[in-house]
Amino acid sequence: MREATQETRATRRLAPAAVPWLLSLPALLLFAAVLVIPLIMTILLSFHDWSQYGGIKPVLILKNWREIWSDPYYAEMFLRTFRIAALVTLVTALVGAPEAYILNRMRPPWRGLFVLVLLGPLLISVVARTLGWALLFGGRTGVVNAALINLHLIASPIPFMFTETGIVVALVHVLMPFMVLAVWTALQRLDPQIENAAASLGAGHLTILRRVILPQVVPGMLSGGIIVFALAASAFATPAIIGGRRLKVAATLAYDEFLNTLNWPLGAAVAVLLLVVLVAIVVTANRLTERRYAEVLG
Amino acid sequence: MSRNGPLALIFHAAFVIFMLAPIVVVCAVAFTPEGYLSFPTHGLSLRWFRAIADYPEFIHAFWLSIGLGALSATIALAVSVPAALAIARHRFVGRGLATTLFMSPLMIPNVVLGIAFLRFFSEIGVGGSFTGLVLAHIIFVFPYALRLTLASATGMDRAIEQAAISLGASEWTILRRITVPLILPGLVSGWTLAFIQSFDEVTMTVFVAAPGTQTLPVRMFLYIQDNIDPLVTSVSACVIAITATALIALDRLYGLERLLSGHAGTRDRE
């Protein structure tokens, strides 16, 4: 006990500036050793040379980057990755925002029950959820296609496996909770009395929606959209199961280069490019939304 | 507050069907007597649940995932508490930079993390080992642990600590009797979220795991790459049943809305 007191006296004598550094030292050391160094090694790896029989040569050349730049296969693949991510973001916003609004107007115990329905899937492996979609749409016998044909909504089955449609549907399901929660968080800050005030001043339903609710929901949709976009662009398991070898996105291509072709330097270059583009998009989007809403909120 | 109209309720019903459909289908197909994956199924059978017993890789992978989740969540939490106290209570040079660094695993695509760890671990000689998996998962779950410990450390009333000091309590007593109990709810949430994130992670782990150290999601992912029999659906049904039981228990004990409302928030950038 006396030793402990002396020790605390010793820490008290330390310059106050050192205390926060000492407290965060374990975390800083951990991150420097296990995150910063591996990331730097990956960036270096993307400049290394590789050949089928010679393996990896630790030189610094632009071969992989030139290949990505000049071969239209990579441009097409990155375009597909970001097209899928943009579509997923759009659909989750259009469906998730109204659902968050409905959820917010529910009373207990219904609200708690449906929050469970919404959050539950987050805890179930992406692999199982994607498999479920493959089973629902799978082939000619898939129940969704059969139902749509019986309702005369479509003439022939919608192709699902190995298509972008399939990847988008499954990713919308996987990422929907993030959008609903983001919009819901924004709605909870909204005072319900404002709606009543607008109604008592004679505003119609549409006017309230357009002039009162929507402006408050949009920041939530934007912050949810950034999360969904980033997660969709870097998604791996869903595009791997539904797209297979035929329809590759950035993450599945990098996986193939690493674990099948064994061209690690090229795989590293694809991954680093994905990281850089994604960070640039997310940071820009964050800046833009912050600036815009800083003006609005004053 | 007005009630939801009929149109809203139809929309809501369609939404709930959309969210539950794939999960229900997986559970239904788990009871198929057929030897292949298809839906709808004809007849009921437990053969694919019995088949799990003949395939010990899944059971091994399940326990590995539990151990990995518990260990990495515990270590991440232990390291995050002092860092959270530093960030919450001190204004120091590099505070913003340190916070960004600790939160960065959320920004980095999991596939990039996987590649970085694969290369790094094979260079330092822990490639494919359980140690490697734990290190990778500590980094991956750290932001979740830190976010929630940080939130409760920031929200804590420091006057209580000052009162304890004025009453002559030692720093160790204050930490043990005041600080830790006050931030405990944040620690519980942080640990739970970190565990869930670790248990579900597949993208990064698929790079780091070797055949002997595959987690359950990785084992499932690799299995459906090579096989089209319904074994994965019965395994999924078991995991869903376990998850649902755990969820109901957590809801009763702690309140799920409270526990998980930080879920999306943790992916929010500051």
CB pairs under 8 A between A and B: 280
Per the CB < 8 A criterion, the answer to whether B197 and B140 are in contact is yes
C-alpha B258/C-alpha A81 separation (Å) is 35
CATH superfamily entry for domain A71-126+158-297 = MetI-like (1.10.3720.10)
| DSSP states of A153-188 | S-SSPPP-TTSHHHHHHHHHHHHHHHHHHHHHHHHH
Residue of B nearest to A256 (CA): B207
Query: Per-residue pLDDT tens for A185-225?
Result: 888 877 778 878 888 888 877 888 788 888 888 888 998 99
pLDDT at B261: 52
| Burial of A294 per CB tally in 10 Å (0-12, 13-18, 19+) | exposed
Residues of B with Cβ-Cβ distance to A286 under 8 angstroms: 269
Instruction: With CA atoms as reference, report the closest residue to B195 among B28, B71, B13.
Output: B71
pLDDT at B227: 81
Q: Which of A5, A17, A115 sits opposite B257 (nearest CB)?
A: A115
Chain centroid to Cα A35, Å, comes to 20
Per the CB < 8 A criterion, the answer to whether B217 and A233 are in contact is no
Residue of B nearest to A29 (CA): B79
Residue of B nearest to A231 (CA): B109
Is 80 exceeded by the pLDDT of residue B160? yes
Cβ of residue B148 closer than 8 Å to a chain A Cβ: no
A16 prior amide bond cis, ω within 30: no
A177 prior amide bond cis, ω within 30: no
Cβ of residue A94 closer than 8 Å to a chain B Cβ: no
Is 60 exceeded by the pLDDT of residue A140? no
A 144-203 residues with CB below 8 A of B?
Answer: 170, 173, 176-178, 181-182, 185, 192, 195
pLDDT at A88: 98
Name the residue with higher pLDDT: A38 or B244. Answer: A38
Dihedral of CA atoms B175, A30, A255, A43 in degrees, nearest 10, equals: 140
Q: Mean pLDDT, to the nearest integer, of A270-289? A: 92
Residue of A nearest to B244 (CA): A120
**Which of A6-10, A256-260, B137-141 shows the lowest per-residue confidence on average (mean pLDDT)?**
A6-10
Residues of A with Cβ-Cβ distance to B265 under 8 angstroms: 181, 185
In Å, how far are A81, B41, B160 from A8, measured between CA atoms? 54, 68, 19
Position A251, amino acid: A
Position A168, amino acid: V
**Secondary element (H or E) of residue B235:** helix B231-254
Query: Per-residue pLDDT tens for B172-231?
Result: 888 888 888 888 888 888 898 899 999 999 999 999 999 889 999 999 999 988 887 889
Check CB contact under 8 Å for B11 and A98. Answer: yes
Instruction: With CA atoms as reference, report the closest residue to B189 among B85, B260, B110, B112.
Output: B260
C-alpha B254/C-alpha B249 separation (Å) is 8
pLDDT at A9: 46
Residues of B with Cβ-Cβ distance to A126 under 8 angstroms: 200, 202, 217
Q: Which of B7, B15, B74 to mutate to test the interface with A (most CBs of A within 10 A)?
A: B15
Cβ of residue A121 closer than 8 Å to a chain B Cβ: yes
**Which of A15-19, B29-33, B66-70, B199-203 shows the lowest per-residue confidence on average (mean pLDDT)?**
A15-19
Query: Per-residue pLDDT tens for B97-123?
Result: 999 999 999 989 999 999 999 999 999
pLDDT at A118: 86
pLDDT at B268: 35
Query: Per-residue pLDDT tens for A42-85?
Result: 999 999 998 878 788 888 888 899 999 999 999 999 999 999 99
β-pairing, A49-51 with A55-57? antiparallel
Widest Cα–Cα separation across chain B: 74
Cβ of residue B115 closer than 8 Å to a chain A Cβ: yes
Name the residue with higher pLDDT: B75 or B88. Answer: B75
Check CB contact under 8 Å for B22 and A178. Answer: no
Residue B154: which pLDDT band, with cuts at 50, 70 and 90? confident
Check CB contact under 8 Å for B82 and A23. Answer: yes
Residue A256: which pLDDT band, with cuts at 50, 70 and 90? very high
C-alpha A213/C-alpha A206 separation (Å) is 10
Per the CB < 8 A criterion, the answer to whether A183 and A217 are in contact is yes
pLDDT at A145: 80
C-alpha A43/C-alpha B74 separation (Å) is 31
Q: Mean pLDDT, to the nearest integer, of B71-81? A: 96
pLDDT at A296: 53
C-alpha A90/C-alpha A55 separation (Å) is 43
Check CB contact under 8 Å for A41 and B115. Answer: no
- State the complex-level ipTM: 0.86
| Burial of A158 per CB tally in 10 Å (0-12, 13-18, 19+) | middle
C-alpha B131/C-alpha B95 separation (Å) is 30
Check CB contact under 8 Å for B21 and A230. Answer: no
In Å, how far are A47, A182, B97 from A43, measured between CA atoms? 7, 33, 21
**Residues forming beta bridges with residue A50, ordered by sequence position:** A56
Check CB contact under 8 Å for A118 and B247. Answer: no
Long-range contacts of B180-185 (CB under 8 A, 24+ apart): B182/B152, B182/B156, B182/B157, B183/B81, B183/B149, B183/B152, B183/B153, B183/B156, B185/B152
Look up residue A31 and give its two tokens. 């991150």
Is 70 exceeded by the pLDDT of residue B267? no
In Å, how far are A66, A190, B151 from A197, measured between CA atoms? 61, 13, 34
Q: Mean pLDDT, to the nearest integer, of A236-249? A: 91
